[in-house]
Structure 1
Amino acid sequence: FLLLAAVAGFTADRFSKRTVMIWCKAAEVLIVLTALGAILAGNVWAMFLLLLMMGSQSAFFVPAKFGSIPEIVRGRLIAPANGLIGMVSMLAIIAGTWAGNVLYDLTTIPGQGLPGTHRWWISAVALLSMAAGGLAASLLIGQLPAANPQRRLSPEVAGETLRALGLLLSHRNLFLVALASSFFWGLGAMSQLMIDKFAQFDLHVSQAHTGPLLGILVFGIALGNGLAGIISRGTIELGLVPIGAAGIALNAVLLCTVPESSPDAPSAAAYWWTMFWLWMLGLSAGLFDVPLQAYLQKQSPPESRGTILAAYNFMAFGAILLASPISWILCEPLGLSARQVFVVSGIGTLAVLIAIVSKIPRQTMRLILEALIRLGYRVRIEGLEHFPRHGPVMLVANHISYLDGFLLGVLLPRRVRFIVYADYFAGWWVRWFAWLAEVIPIYPGKRSVVVSLCNAQEALLAGRVVGVFPEGTLSPDGQIHEFQPGFLRVIRGTEAPVIPVYLDGLWGSVFSRSDGRILWKVLRRLAGFRRRPVLIRIGPAIRDPQDAEHVRQAIIRLGQGQYQQQAQAHWEATTP
């Protein structure tokens, strides 16, 4: 992976990634056939050489595989695709490890010949079936054009590697993402070494019980990968990265709390607690890495995507190699136990977490808010096909509760900059939150209002989504009141469509003006807690609205459609 990273990147860019994957899988079949001959001949050096060839084949395969994802699926599916591939890959590692042990037992008689030579045909059938299956799967991939067919390879492999790393470094954000993902792989390699040491000297269990500990960690990563793909839902959810990092740090430290075990009487409780914390550690790691992989693939320039991914592979496997000497330094010269190394790893991940949050505070807060909202509300979004994926948008909605802006800002696929009265942001912590949400404040005074409206217009001209509640205040009775026309001035000359949005289900909630003081509403809500159903209905775009009443009536019609659906559902439920 290290020596051939640059050449593999060149191959993935110069030729069709489908072609590269097919040739790699064909080479895998030939290597497996040759390896069977080396095993039967008992030639250990040939086995080492073939193992090197298998690693070389993988070095060419990986950049083509991951680089092909953005070429096969649409942009909004890149993160879910990475989650699925990561989950399947980790499950394949578990299955392969188990199958390897089974094949060893079936083909080896202790003290009689080399391992694997007894009933060798069982291993031959299993390995050739897997290799042939991979080749057949690669042939099913659709045609993919070469990203950069004019590219030429430099004869200096070392120089080409440095150029690949330089290309990655020139894209600062991509380099930081590659660095974070490399940290993940290095930490994973160190965890593998420490799990073996932890099982031997802390849990005092046999080697047979060490395998399940590694397996549960990998299974956790697989589950985390799949969960990250589900949560992403059509976007690259970078907010998962700090949440995953926090989970890694916390669970690595919590491994230190596992009860000590005696060599004479190993503790079952200690073993099962270790299994649990390793599973949680793997789950967090899976959440951490999927968004990073998806970001690297989507944001890399198409003509050099293979090279950038190969440079990332060089960094990732470099980190894996560094895990061994770092583990040795921590355990031998410094004399740390496996428990203490896990704590050090957790503290190191905490530093990474702080660095990540400082780089992406908005994505982090957005995901936390979404989790809190979904904890208390069952939100359904209708008409999302009317919401433009690109370009300027003026979002206009009715105003039922203090939660309205959070719902739209967090759950819609694009970030919304709301026009808000500055009086709502008097406290320092509220001002910090306003900065995170990129609100456009309106200060008292005619001149200040004009300046705020101009700022909103500049946001539209920059292709952003601007949101407004034209009623100017919360509805006192749940009805849609008169709209102020200021938003019409904002859209003038921007060619931004007005997207009407109707919010339903929030009247009567804790954050609305219904049913008296908020304290009593909170107490009543806690007494009979259930997730409140909320509807966000998006209507068709309105181009050049006649006046504010035109937009208001469009939102009212969206609400009438909701009432009609509710009446129809009630009639169907009550009619025999």
Structure 2
Amino acid sequence: MKTSSSLQLLREKRFGPYFVAQFLGAFNDNLFKNALLIIVAFGAARSEQEIGLINNLAAGLFILPFFLFALVAGNIADTVDKQLIIKRLKLTECLLAFAAVPALLSGDVKLMLAVLFGFGLQSAFFAPAKYSLLPQHLAMHELVGGNALVQLGTFVAILVGTLVGGIFASSQLLLYWLCGLIVCVAILGYVFACYVPPAPPSQDTTAKVDWNIWRMGQLAVKEIRKTPGVLLAIMAVSWFWFLGTVVLTQLPSFSKSVLGGDATVVSVLLAIFSVGIGAGSLLCERLSAGRLEIGLVPLGAIGMAVFGSLFAFAPAAGGVELVSALSFFSSGSGIWVGLHVVLIGVFGGLYIVPLMALIQAKTSSDMRGRTMAINSVMNALFMVVAALFSIVVLVILEWSLSTLLLLTALGNLVVLAVIVKAVPAYFIRMLMWLVAQLSYRLRVAGRENLPETGPGLILANHVTFIDWMLLGAASVRPLRFVMYKPFYDIRVLRPILRWAGAIPISPRHEDEKCYREAMDAIKQALRDGELVLVFPEGKLSETGELQTFRTGFERVLAEVPVPVIPAALHGLWGSFFSRRWGRAMRKPFKRVYSRVGVEFGCPVVPEEATAEVLQQQIATMLAKEEQIER
């Protein structure tokens, strides 16, 4: 089935009002916060120490509610209709907006900080409901696109709110317009919140809210650990906010002291970074064809490491006077710096969107709010750690800004190593996705025939040496590959294949022990609820035609009866990895990046899954005209 563009979700009632409401909320938070910082910096005469103290206090007061109340908010999100939560919180935002008016006009720092704490408190309660609502209103194939739009909207709102807040707070006359804008945005956000469809909880709504934060956090983490990969994904998302905090916080100083740019350079770099995040988020939805593709996560981490390092090594400015954005980006070095910043954002979008979708998709509906609350707490914690890390590097160790940015960029590789060691599937998916995308133009049909959960045996024709990678890239779930032992034992490939959980097999007449061990491993994998891929022809095709199926899989089904899914590989004969030209991989550039397809047929019940029946089904799939949809 073809996936529609995620932008179409904006037109639908189940997503459009929600998107606008959360966008306006993020915009208002940053509009008020940056206005406060500008008023403090350029208002009444204050020392640099006093300004620094107030700025740090403002940052702390906005984050503090996430530590204190996010878990309570997650508990509420799991027991109350999320539409009702969003409406009440947007109404609270209206009250805060009205309170912001006298605070800004009077310039009273204590009152402004109190209002900022209120905005932080409202955001802490809003975040779990905001993210846990998505899986209720979106289908699984829309979840990546929905998260992409949310990330795009969030960063654009942060950027625009920061810029507008700084401009409007710079003069007393514009300050009145700023107050009116904050109030109007809050009211408009409430109006859109009223059109968000209901999202009722899946558990008992009479359950009491536990106000013991420590006990609630322990129970939530214990439940999250029961679902493999979710806690790791939360930590990986939190690393993204660590990196973002370091980059965005140090960007003004780096632009001035290293790049030699004035405030306009900072604004442009912030803008293109946000645009990069948005572009990467939307690109993620496009590249993953609407499905959850965790292979993009390592790719994103590598990209952030590479371009983050290049940005850290940006050449220092030679002049004494600060240059404007026009002068800076007219130079070759300025263009390269801008390109590095936008690509950090693009790869950041590729990194974070699949992780957020994974957390939402894998978490049970009755735990989703608390899971997103744990995510909020960890995000806030990593942001605080990022600030402390910057202080240690810059103040205590007295290292340069370039060193700080370089260490942060290289931290992506450390995070990647931790992720891959804990869950090798991330790296394997990246390899399969890259091979599928760079070698061919892969189109997939029949993904809906693959079971979402539980065991299954996939049988496919065998045309090239990378059939297993193409089928793995096409599948919505990880596959266990059964492959010829001499191929498995290739020194370069063996570590990767072992990581992928491949099962080596040899014909019984070649290696009786290996054959028995492979059959036992296949049966155990099926008992464990996994999908197992078998090439029943037993060898690579020499002619491109379908060969006689062997019956070994029938003996597996006799002991472990599971559904059998026939799969057909289209258009691969004659490509570089096939034996069309004798030995494979001897004719470079043969049908490179040609259109090929993977088609999954309807499942066959184990009682009817004979070699003859499955061979006929796959032959029929190969014979008909290819209608492969992305």
**Shorter-chain TM-score category?**
0.7 to 0.9
CA contact (8 A) 2:295 2:433 kept: no
Matches within 5 A, 1:217-228: 217-228=273-284
In the TM superposition, residue 469 of structure 1 has moved relative to its aligned partner by 1.9
Aligned to 1:557: 620
CA shift at 1:408, angstroms? 1.0
Which one of 546, 554, 564 corresponds to residue 480 of structure 1?
546
2:89 is the counterpart of 1:27: no
Q: Is the 8 A contact 1:240 1:364 kept in 2?
A: no
- Equivalent positions of 1:285-434 (< 5 A) are 285-434=348-497
Mapping 1:441-456, distance limit 5 Å: 441-443=504-506, 444-446=510-512, 448-456=514-522
How far apart, in 1, do the equivalents of 2:224 and 2:449 lie? 34
CA contact (8 A) 2:464 2:577 kept: yes
* Separation (CA, whole Å) in 2 of partners of 1:11 and 1:341: 39
Q: Which residue number corresponds to residue 571 of structure 2?
A: 505
- Structure 2 distance, partners of 1:451, 1:186, is 46
Shift in alpha-carbon separation, 1:148–1:373, aligned structure 2, 3 A: same
Secondary structure of the structure 2 residue equivalent to 1:502: strand
Counterparts of residues 224-263 of structure 1 (less than 5 Å): 224-263=280-319
3-state secondary structure, aligned to 1:332: helix
Tell me the residue number matched to 2:40: none
| Structure 1: distance between partners of 2:335 and 2:364 | 46
**CA distances 1:428-480 after superposition (whole Å, capped 9, x unpaired):** 33322321232222233445434422332232233222222222222222111
Q: Deviations over 1:53-79 (max 9, x none)?
A: 122111111111112122222344333
Deviation of residue 216 (structure 1)? Answer: 1.9
Cα gap change, 1:248 to 1:546, in 2 (>3 Å)? closer
Aligned ranges 1:12-411 → 2 under 5 Å: 12-40=77-105, 43-104=108-169, 108=171, 114=172, 116-117=174-175, 120=176, 122-146=177-201, 147-154=203-210, 159-161=212-214, 163-165=216-218, 167-168=220-221, 171-172=224-225, 173-264=229-320, 266=323, 268-411=331-474
Deviations 1:400-448 (A, max 9, x none): 2222222112222222223322222233333223212322222334454
Report the counterpart of residue 572 of structure 1 in structure 2: none
Q: Return closer, same or farther for 1:6/1:462 CA change in 2, 3 Å cut-off.
A: closer
For 1:517 and 1:441, locate their aligned partners in 2 and report how far apart those are by CA, in whole Å.
22
Paired residue type of 1:98: L
> Does the 8 Å contact 2:100/2:115 carry over to 1?
yes
| Change beyond 3 A, Cα 1:430–1:227 | same
User: Distance in 1 between the 2:540 and 2:482 partners?
Assistant: 14
CA offsets 1:509-532 (integer angstroms, 9 cap, x no match): 12222123446511x53xxx7521
Q: Is the 8 A contact 1:470 1:485 kept in 2?
A: yes
Q: Give per-residue Cα distances to partners, 1:364-386, cap 9 Å, x unaligned.
A: 12222222222121122223333
CA drift of 1:20 comes to 1.0
Give distance in 2, aligned partners of 1:519 and 1:235.
31
Distance, in Å, in 1 between the alignment partners of 2:311 and 2:363 is: 37
Output the TM-score relative to the length of structure 2: 0.80
Q: Percent identical across equivalent pairs?
A: 29
Q: CA deviation at 1:201?
A: 0.9
- The aligned amino acid for 1:129 is C
CA distance in 2, matches of 1:214, 1:473: 55
Secondary structure of the equivalent of 2:537? Answer: coil
Say if 1:338 and 1:466 are closer, same or farther in 2 by CA, change over 3 A: same
Structure 2 residue runs without a partner (length 5+): 1-65
- Residue 86 of structure 1: CA displacement? 0.7
Kindly provide the amino acid, as one letter, of the partner of residue 238 in structure 1: I
Displacement of 1:166: 5.5
State the superposition RMSD in angstroms. Answer: 2.6
Per the normalisation by structure 1, the TM-score is: 0.87
Number of corresponding residues: 548
Alpha-carbon distance in structure 2 between the residues aligned to 1:282 and 1:228: 12
Are the equivalent residues in 2 in contact too, given 1:245–1:350 (CA < 8 A)? yes
Shift of the alpha carbon at 1:202?
0.9
Please list the CA deviations of residues 478-500 of structure 1 after superposition, one character each: whole Å capped at 9, or x if unmatched. 11122212211211243322222
Question: Is the 8 Å Cα contact of residues 398 and 470 (structure 1) preserved in structure 2?
Answer: yes
Q: Per-residue deviation at 1:169? A: 5.7
Structure 1 residue 299: deviation in Å? 3.2
Q: CA deviation at 1:85?
A: 0.8
Amino acid at match of 2:70: A
Contact conserved, 2:298 with 2:426, CA < 8 A, in 1?
no
- Evaluate the alpha carbon distance shift between residue 222 and residue 511 of structure 1 in structure 2; reply closer, same or farther with a 3 A threshold: same
Alpha-carbon spacing, 1:295–1:401, altered in 2? closer, same or farther (3 Å): closer
Larger deviation, residues 378-387 vs 442-451: 442-451
Cα offset for 1:43? 4.6
Mapped to 1, the partners of 2:444 and 2:411 lie a distance apart of 40
Structure index of larger Rg = 1
What CA distance in whole angstroms lies between the structure 2 residues aligned with 1:180 and 1:468?
34
Structure-2 change in CA distance of 1:480 and 1:32 (3 Å): same
Secondary structure of 1:428's partner? coil
Distance 1:154 1:463 in 2: 36
Contact 2:67 2:380 in 1 (8 A): yes
Q: Alpha carbons of 1:7 and 1:546: their partners in 2 closer, same or farther (altered >3 Å)?
A: closer
Distance 1:558 1:349, change over 3 A: closer
Q: C-alpha separation between the residues in 1 aligned to 2:220 and 2:173? A: 46
The answer for unaligned runs of 5 or more in structure 1 is: 109-113, 567-576
